[in-house]
Chains A and B, each alone.
Chain A
Amino acid sequence: MQAVLNTSAAPSAPARKGKGAGFLLLSPAVFILLVWSIVPLVMTLWYSLQNYNLVDPTLHGFAGINNYWYLLTDPDFLQSLLNTLLLVAGVLVISVGGGTLLAVLYDQDFFGRGIARVLVISPFFVMPTVSALLWKNLMLHPIYGVYSAMMRAVGLTPIDWLSQYPLATVMMIVSWEWLPFAVLILLTAVQSLDGEQKEAARMDGAGPIARFRYIILPHLSRAISVVVMIETIYLLTIFAEISVTTAGGPGVASSNLAFLIYSRALLQFDVGGASAGGVIAIVIANIVAAFLVRAVARNLEV
């Protein structure tokens, strides 16, 4: 196992002379990312303090914290915030937990393993709008859906999943998209595990559960960090799946913050309100990111 390296002391990277060149090569990317992250942010902050509605030009001027107050006192806001965190946590648990188990499963040798693997990772390549439509119409539709037909076949009454359990169903659809990603990464990690080590443990009398707990799981910790980090980035801002399946409803039962801001403020052309929501979303994302990046980066080779 290669030691986790520190950039400052990386043996493979002796500092070349000429800091100027390094700076020169790095600066275009840094500059463009700086502009990209600061200009819209400052504009959002500015708009969030204004009364600014695209369809009502009579309403203008400084709003102070009114836009924020309006949003933060909205009970829907708290519900959406909770939904956002539930979605991230739920999908992470399902995809990392399931991904780990499936990675161990697909590490076993069996007939047609290569094809089975390709089938399992396929959903990752399907665009979110399509997966949402697929599940909503072809799979879970209460009358024509395949799942409903199966339930009827065994004598059960089909469930209208998206209206009865909207958040859980969206969570399931999103998990279907991200579980393959976890499998893809974790399977590679499991395969890189030294076979001899597993054999030695077996010789010493370790059962399958002990081998999983004390050999496979520790070996996977870095790969799991990668999965958690990348997935969180995307899960915080789930949009297409919600927009296509439930449009956030019923009520705000399946709205996350991104979708609430979009539907409340933007569809009403309320630039001020949308911007205030945007600022709040950015603050929350940064809180999550601060925890996450620090926790995960320690596990990455930086």
Chain B
Amino acid sequence: MAFKVNCGKQIAVTLLGWGVALWVFFPIFWMFLTGFKSEVQAVSTPPQLFFKPTLSSYAEVFERANYWHFTINTVLVSVIATGVALALAVPAAYSMAFMPSKRTRSTLLWMLSTRMLPSVGVLVPIYLLARNAHLLDTVLGLAIVDMLTNLPIVIWMLFTFFREVPAPILEAGRMDGASRWQEMTMVLLPLALPGIASTALLSLILCWNEAFWSLNLTSSNAAPLTAFIASFSSPEGLFFGKLSAASTLAVAPILVFGWFSQKQLVRGLTFGAVK
């Protein structure tokens, strides 16, 4: 549009936009930087922006804790929880989107309200149930709990995506003789794939970062990255270098993942409320 460009305003917007962005991102940047400092450099006053980088903190982190063990646990928990949640949620969302009944709306709201159940309120019974089922400190146990806490949001998101699929397309499939199963897997799923992908993304991110159940239901075998970090936050000393290196290792995969998938993610998070 050929409007007179207001140069002063343009500069102000650029400065403000970048200023806010750098300020918000600064702690993450600093964490990344501090991971390459020695412990002495990490606590120097004033803090150094320029320094001779070293990998000693990373070396010590890898020596002290089996990073891959925690990472594999996190990946397993996130993937299993997301997979099972999708397997349960796709038929449920399909049913509510294409075969709605009078109770669909209240069912959805009820599902969402189960998500409001404070974890701490049911920690004792869940802990005891998990203990009795020998699921304490197992990947499966944590995955089940993570799956259940995310299921309502996963169903809700899929429901809004499915609603955007025009019903006549499904009808056409059925005219051609598709069974309900074929209709769901061969007609609906490919059409709703972007929506399913963004739902899966959100579920993966939520599982990856989940702290409460991870810290309370696991100890060593199934301990995920959240527990890995907790073990580096030792109160007996300030090891900023190791803490930063460990933190960087814990958040880097999901952060990079998030950067690449942010567009997908937004679609899912808005529950179809933002077009």
Contact = CB atoms under 8 A, between A and B. Distances in A.
Bound pair (A, B):
yes
Interface of A: 2, 5-8, 10, 12-16, 18-19, 21-26, 28-30, 32-33, 36-37, 39-41, 43-44, 47, 102, 105-106, 108, 110-113, 115-131, 133-135, 137-139, 141, 143-144, 146, 149, 152-153, 176, 179-181, 184-185, 188-189, 192, 199, 222-223, 225-226, 230, 233, 236-237, 239-240, 244, 257-259, 261-262, 266, 271, 274-275, 277-279, 281-282, 285-286, 288-289, 293, 297, 299-302
B190 interface: no
Contact of B101 (A14, A22, A110, A230): A22
Interface of B: 1, 10, 13-14, 16-18, 20-22, 24-28, 30-31, 34, 42-43, 45-47, 88-89, 91-92, 94-102, 104-105, 107-109, 111-126, 128-129, 148, 151-153, 155, 160, 163-167, 180, 205, 208-209, 211-212, 215, 225-226, 229-230, 233, 238, 240, 243-244, 247, 250-251, 254-255, 257-259, 262, 265-266, 269-275
A8 B121 contact: no
B274 A118 contact: no
Given A123-B24, A133-B229, A184-B265, A223 B273 contact: yes
In the A-B complex, list the 6 residue pairs whose CB atoms are closest, starting with the nearest: A278-B121, A22-B99, A43-B125, A29-B92, A125-B258, A40-B122
B109 A119 contact: no
Contacts of B244: 138
A108 B91 CA distance: 41
A39 B164 CA distance: 35
A32 to B, nearest CB: 7
A28 B91 contact: yes
B20 A102 contact: yes
Nearest to B265: A184
A300 to B, nearest CB: 5
A133 to B, nearest CB: 5
B244 to A, nearest CB: 7
Contacts of A184: 262, 265-266, 269
A100 to B, nearest CB: 13
Nearest to B159: A302
A125 B205 contact: yes
Contact of A10 (B112, B155, B163): B163
A127 B30 contact: no
